[in-house]
Structure 1
Amino acid sequence: MPTIIEAARALYDQHGVAEIKAARADTINLSRTTAAILQVIYDAKKTGTYNIVFVTGIPGAGKTLCRLDIAFAPEIEATFLTGTLPMVYVLKAALTEDRGKQQGHSQRAARHQSKAKIESVVGFLRDSTSRMEAPAEHVIIFDEAQRAWDAKKGAGKFQFTQSEAAIVLDIMRRHQDYAVIVALVGNGQEINTGEAGLAEWGKALLERSEWHVQAAPGVLDAPEAKQRLFTTNRPENFKINSALHLDTPIRNIRSVSAAPWIDAVLRGHKDAAQH
């Protein structure tokens, strides 16, 4: 598999994810998940609706490729948001260099184009909360959604009055035609102080009935309540979509059984790990 920089460069140059994956049989699941997300985006645009999808995946199943493929799809306006600042800097620098060389753009123009595709979460929120207009992008890919902070941390660190989930939903709801949020969920990771977990997304969505919600099955059965999207109450416009779970490892073809074992350990499934 390519490195994240190689994948980003290839996708930014409008090569499809299928080309990057070198036609390996174990990437069928990745293609299915990408197709499911793109279908939600196309349907939202056609019907004028607001949609959020929650994507899960075992370690090594290709969430990085999936999110980059959506962000760089030429026919949609999407931005990949991450809280990992080194990733933002490295990818922007690599894409700026490539775009400047390939198309003869100035470094300034190339930097502007790369910023439109990859941005820090905090930068996006600060830009968007400083004005009332809808953001330029109709689609955002939100990395590590389970780590979105709660209202207390938002008030103390960023001077926001709501949880990160609520703010993101309200920002994207400013669009008059449609909007899509692709929320990527990391499995089995410890939630730190101030991080609200998926439960905060569920709470915010229950208060905003205009949003249509699709999610991988695993968001409902996490061992920790804080990591469950919904417990008892669910929105009327909610459905489970198994295509939104990446369950086939592609990181290392020689260790196909390793990723399911790691996932079972992280999720606390002792019996599954032993088998």
Structure 2
Amino acid sequence: MSDTWGWAGTISDFLSTPQESWLQSLEDHHLRLWNFNSSNSQRVAWVDEHKVMTAALKSCLNAAASEVSTWSLVFEYELPMEGGRRPDVIVFTGAAFVVVEFKSAPMINQGDIDQTMGYVRDLCDYHAGSADLAHFGILVLTGANPTFAKLVDETPVVGGSSLHQYLFSAHQEGTVDLDTWLNSPYRPLPTLVEAARRIFRDEPLPHIHTAIAAGIPETVELLGRIVDKTSDESSRSLAFVTGVPGSGKTLVGLRLVHERTSTHGRATFLSGNGPLVQVLQDALSSRVFVRDLHAFIKTYALNQRLSTPEEHIIVFDEAQRAWDARYMKEKKNVAKSEPDLLISIGERIEDWATMVGLIGEGQEIHSGEEAGIQQWRDAVSNSSNTKTWSIHCPPKLKDQFQGLSVSTHEELDLNVSLRSKRAEDLHQWVHLLLSGSLSLAHRQALKIRHAQYPLYVTRDIEEAKRYARQRFDEEPNHRSGLLASSHAKNLFKHGIDNGYQATSNMNVAKWYNAPTSDPKSSNALIQPVTEFSCQGLELDLPILCWGSDYRMQSESWNLTPINRRYKQDDPKALLRNAYRVLLTRGRDGLIIFVPNEPLMDATENALLAAGVQLLPTAAELIAV
């Protein structure tokens, strides 16, 4: 008896096993998984599944006994490290697998289709025994007319007596060894928060093939060698890691801090992203490893009694967003940039120091963040000990540090998004959308949707919430949430309070970490967060509330950023980056809510032209 599936065997085993014995296996598995007995409604659903699967497999055997006799199947296969997520049935039809998901409703629901194909996608992405198999998904509606059959987004939705036709058509020449498949590793990509928890609990992170292909291990190893060399030579080094949104930069920084603490004493991860700091400190139950960048600078550079940090390794997130001298003068009455102050701190650290800057591309959203990488060159050049610093960066940044001691490394450029395999090209779609290249964006959207990353738009916020709740009803560890631009002025009247008071006073750590039952949880779908509170973090399914600050007008985007107290060099660029951040937070998909007002009609049309699909409403569900 296994702990990770309810029942598994060949088609012959299944047809010869008494229903009561099979049912007991599923009930025992449910008790092991959840520590309570299954409900009566669940047992009824299992009995319905058994009847449908028995009839379907017998029909397939009658059609082609020699091929079908090699099939096998698994019921209630638990996806490891996924909080109890489990497809109802996985059927191995030769050298292919078919996820068969059962629902008792007599109507098609888009969330059920996306859940079915989400199981298929995750098995392909993360299960070693599934990656090279042909794959299919079928949604069975036991409450529908038994002969019903319809393709919805290329996914068969069928009544019970139609299932056998689609199972048989999924057959591929070859076989799958069931024992080998059941014992193959399943290695999902953890969220940033979960990854941080595992790192600091000394638990190994899964060796996800996308992360390996993207060069994450090589980046961490290279930075470790730079640290070792700097320590051995009693020198100082400044390294930069660049990457697209979701490429694993923060994960690289956290791993370096944790791993090198054991060999070189204390290290720290600094971020000027206050919400990210709050969420990670809450998740880790520690304020030691992850600290606020601005507070660190205040303590070690602005205090009248200058002190020196104990850490020799300092990693800072979003280095290109460090405050410039002009903004520091206004905020702190100090005519030096944050890079100037961090370099001065590094030079006071006894014997040696390694500083690592993580650089996101197109992530500048705050006032004072527009000076970019140039101010780091200026900080080192203006240092009284310039020659003691060695710079390490990707080749594309070399020209930024002319006149300094620079070593370039390809490993320091992370150019593949790891948020999910199906979202690797999402950042390119976002770039095309925000630049107004709608026809090119449409082509990219087709590619993204084909990889089972849904993109939806709706004019009804309640329909968006309904879909999100239904989609993850059986997956309590997944997170949805409302996102909104801080610049948008028209959302409040639609029930979206993105104002300064509401968003600045909320408990961001609870929003990301609290369970669904907590009204302050993101899953409650009550309070939105803005670009300032979601940058560097992620959700499984965000609902982006699109404001009038970035609306389509006369076939081009009309950007209307709000006036900030601090003068900005290019406020429209900051607004564009705000939407870039908001649009790239999702791991499993994206819903865009466009307020139902005439001013926003052209914006909806632009999103549709860019390949976003209309979200089916409850009224549009197809009775079968």
- TM-score range normalised by the length of the shorter chain: 0.7 to 0.9
* Residues 188 and 263 in structure 1, CA contact (< 8 A), matched pair in contact too: no
Q: How does 1:23-34 map to 2 (within 5 A)?
A: 23-28=207-212, 29-34=215-220
**Deviation of the 1:217 alpha carbon:** 2.3
Single out whichever of 173-182 and 69-78 deviates more from structure 2. 69-78
- Which one-letter code corresponds to 2:337 in the other structure? S
**Shift of residue 251, structure 1, vs aligned partner:** 1.4
> C-alpha separation between the residues in 1 aligned to 2:417 and 2:243?
9
Residue 201 (str. 1) matches residue 376 (str. 2) = yes
Aligned pair in 2 of structure 1 residues 134, 146: CA closer, same or farther (>3 Å)?
same
Percent of matched pairs sharing the same residue: 32
* Separation in 2, partners of 1:25, 1:55: 21
Is 1:171 aligned to 2:339, yes or no? no
Moved more, 190-199 or 150-159: 190-199
Q: Does the Cα contact within 8 Å between 1:147 and 1:197 map onto a contact in 2?
A: yes
Distance 1:152 1:257 in 2: 36
* Structure 1 residues 72 and 124: alpha-carbon distance in aligned structure 2, compared to 1, 3 A threshold: same
Q: Structure 2: which amino acid aligns with 1:33?
A: T
The reply to whether residue 88 of structure 1 matches residue 281 of structure 2 is no
Q: 1:155 to 1:57 in 2, by over 3 A?
A: same
Change (3 A) 1:117 1:204: same
Q: 2:314, 2:354 within 8 Å by CA — same for their partners in 1?
A: yes
- How big is each residue's C-alpha offset from its partner over 1:129-173, in whole Å with a ceiling of 9 and x where there is no partner? 223332111111111111111112112102323111010000111
CA distance in 1, matches of 2:421, 2:330: 45
Q: Which runs of 5 or more residues in structure 2 are unaligned? A: 1-188, 445-624
Matched, 1:240 2:426: no
Indicate if the aligned counterparts of 1:191 and 1:197 stay in contact, CA closer than 8 A.
no
1:14 corresponding residue in structure 2: 202
Report the residue type matching 2:225 in the other structure: Q
Equivalent of 1:3 in 186, 191, 208: 191
Q: Secondary structure at the match of 1:52?
A: strand
1:163-222 C-alpha deviation (Å, 9 max, x unpaired): 11010000111022100111011112346542221111111112232211001123357x
Q: Partner residue of 1:215?
A: 393
Q: Distance in 1 between matches of 2:412 and 2:430?
A: 16
Q: Say which of 168, 188, 193 aligns to 2:362.
A: 188
Q: Aligned AA for 1:234?
A: G
Query: What TM-score does the superposition give when structure 2 sets the normalisation length?
Result: 0.36
Cα distance change, pair 187–218 in 1 and its aligned pair in 2 (3 A)? farther
SS where residue 270 of structure 2 aligns?
strand
Residue identity in the other structure for 2:375: E
Read off the aligned partner of 1:115 and give its amino acid letter. Answer: R
1:72 equivalenced with 2:258 (yes/no): yes
Q: Distance in 1 between matches of 2:247 and 2:193?
A: 17
Q: Please list the CA deviations of residues 216-243 of structure 1 after superposition, one character each: whole Å capped at 9, or x if unmatched.
A: 123357xxxxxxx33xx330x2121111
Q: Distance in 2 between matches of 1:181 and 1:262?
A: 33
Q: Give the TM-score taking structure 1 as reference length.
A: 0.79
Instruction: Report 1 or 2 for greater relative contact order, CA contacts < 8 Å, sequence distance ≥ 6.
Output: 1
| Residue type at the aligned position of 2:220 | T
Residue 324 (structure 2) aligns with = 150
Mapped to 2, the partners of 1:263 and 1:40 lie a distance apart of 35
SS of equivalent to 2:360: coil
Partner of residue 134, structure 1: 308
Specify the SS of the correspondent of 2:327: helix
Letter in 1 for 2:240: F
Amino acid at match of 1:4: L
Assess, with a 3 A threshold, how the Cα gap between structure 1 residues 33 and 201 changes in structure 2: closer, same or farther.
Answer: same
Give the residue type in structure 2 aligned to 1:83: G
Report the Cα distance in structure 1 between the residues aligned to 2:297 and 2:269, rounded to whole angstroms: 13
| Distance (Å, rounded) in 1 between the aligned partners of 2:278 and 2:365 | 25
Matching residue of 1:55: 241
Give the whole-Å Cα distance in 2 for the aligned partners of 1:212 and 1:254. 38
Residue 115 (structure 1) aligns with: 287
Give the Cα separation in 1 of the matches to 2:413 and 2:332.
Answer: 32
How many positions carry a matched residue from both structures?
Answer: 241
CA distance in 1, matches of 2:246, 2:403: 30
Distance 1:264 1:220 in 2: 25
Match of 2:228, SS state, is: helix
Q: Distance in 1 between matches of 2:413 and 2:356?
A: 13
Unaligned 5+ runs, structure 1? 97-113, 222-228
Root-mean-square deviation (CA, aligned residues, Å) is: 2.5
Give the conservation status (yes or no) of the 8 Å contact 1:55–1:244: yes
